[in-house]
Structure 1
Amino acid sequence: MSNRSIGLDGPLYDYLLEHSLREPEILAELRAETANLPEANMQIAPEQGQFMALLARLMGARRYLEIGTFTGYSALAIALALPEDGTVVTLDKSAQWTTTARRYWERAGVSGRIRLELGEAGNTLQALEAEGETSRFDLAFIDADKTGYPDYFEHCLRLVRAGGLILVDNTLWHGSVADPDDTREDTRAIRAFNDALHHDERIDLSLAPIGDGLTLARRR
């Protein structure tokens, strides 16, 4: 029994992966290739991808919206969890990183169910609303510029159906959110975002200590 969440040191984290992770080979290969990039720390943890895929299956999700594609790991993890007629819409600004994503989506046989939109996320989200996509997504994931989180979240609240789930990455920010001496812009942005969600009556809320902190917000 414990009255608080457990910390994960190296051996315990290894144990978690050895006794829980069921990562498909295609995802493992993508993660290994991404690890060679200077921006490799932008990659979500494999156990987080598996958790998100499980949530998608539990919800019976068919339509998934993602803000921040990077090399495509999370989009691929969810695409593999959706039914064959499921749809992924993922947004990013980088043609370079998403070239890797497209290659792995093609190899995995799911490229036909993934719609990649390149450009400013705010503009694309506005366009989706204009196209009549309001309340049509079951699940959304926000993992992009931290100062943009409040705006992205408001769009997702409109685009995700009632009872749908919005996931937000990096909400513990390597522990910096609890360090009063850390006054960096991104840290301050995440603190403000977390504070706002804590008091937001439009959602049911849980901030889970998975990866770098994963917030789960269910639209009421």
Structure 2
Amino acid sequence: MQYILETSCYPREHELLKQLREATFEKYQFWSQILTGYSLLTVAPALPDDGKITAIDPNREAYEFGQPFIQRAGVEHKINFFPSDAGKEPGIKFEGKEEGNFDFAFVDADKQNYLNYHELLMKLVKVGGIIAYDNTLWFGTVAEPEEKVKELALRKGRNDVVVVNNFLAADPRVELALVSIGDGLTLCRRLH
């Protein structure tokens, strides 16, 4: 995993992001891409001072690991963190007033629940807003026949992602683009 530490892979990476990425790798090694606030620290500085991020993740420890970096960046006031498994219990009781008030949603969670998240987010994200789904290429296996995917763990995730990709491609409520960066990112713009 040496490529993760090479700075040439991150040409515009803020110094705090670099420090967080390196600290995450040092602590978690192979699992260096788990959420430790890196995505939050990437987005929060770009928001206006009164902008808000609602972050839902079951792993409070990982969030707390990244929290000092978020604090040093001076953006902690923009983040509402909810330690919850969004696939089972959103952790937030949406009361209806939030409907149509989100500009953007980024989903990097359990792939078998992506369709559940999609239905919730279609209510929360306003018309014209964006929902981004991470890992929609699933190591390139979505382009392979299922029987050619050797590892069982990869095959399970692949099948979940194929179902999601097919659903999103046919959903008339969104316009989408699959961006082949990283492990694939699908951007859905809510049409109605």
TM-score, with normalisation over the residues of structure 1? Answer: 0.75
Aligned mates of 1:124, 1:136 — CA distance in 2: 17
Alpha-carbon distance, 1:80 to partner:
0.8
Q: Give 1:102-113 correspondences, 5 Å limit.
A: 102-113=67-78
Q: Give 1:43-122 correspondences, 5 Å limit.
A: 70-122=35-87
Q: Secondary structure at the match of 2:64?
A: helix
Aligned mates of 2:60, 2:129 — CA distance in 1: 29
Alpha-carbon distance, 1:124 to partner:
2.1
Q: Secondary structure at the match of 2:90?
A: helix
Q: Which residue of 2 aligns with 1:29?
A: 19
Aligned mates of 2:56, 2:162 — CA distance in 1: 24
Unpaired runs of 5+ in structure 1? 1-9, 43-69
Structure 1 residue ranges (4+ consecutive) displaced by more than 4 angstroms after TM superposition:
none
Root-mean-square deviation over aligned CA pairs:
2.0
Alpha-carbon distance, 1:41 to partner:
3.7
Q: Which residue of 1 aligns with 2:135?
A: 170
In 1, are the aligned partners of 2:83 and 2:91 still within 8 Å (CA)? no
Q: Which residue of 1 aligns with 2:110?
A: 145
Q: Secondary structure at the match of 1:152?
A: helix
In percent, how many aligned pairs have the same letter? 38
User: Are 1:196 and 2:167 matched, yes or no?
Assistant: yes
In 2, are the aligned partners of 1:125 and 1:155 still within 8 Å (CA)? no
Q: Which residue of 2 aligns with 1:40?
A: 32
Letter in 1 for 2:186: T
Deviates more, 1:33-42 or 1:200-209: 33-42
Alpha-carbon distance, 1:39 to partner:
1.3
Q: Secondary structure at the match of 1:124?
A: coil
Aligned mates of 2:158, 2:117 — CA distance in 1: 17
Aligned mates of 1:120, 1:130 — CA distance in 2: 19
Cα distance per residue 1:46-93 (max 9 Å; x no partner): xxxxxxxxxxxxxxxxxxxxxxxx201111111011011110110000
Q: Secondary structure at the match of 1:174?
A: helix
Shift of the 218–139 alpha-carbon distance from structure 1 to 2, 3 Å rule, reads: same
Letter in 1 for 2:133: V
Alpha-carbon distance, 1:35 to partner:
1.7
Aligned mates of 1:155, 1:206 — CA distance in 2: 20
Aligned mates of 1:211, 1:27 — CA distance in 2: 17
In 1, are the aligned partners of 2:84 and 2:91 still within 8 Å (CA)? no
Alpha-carbon distance, 1:40 to partner:
1.4
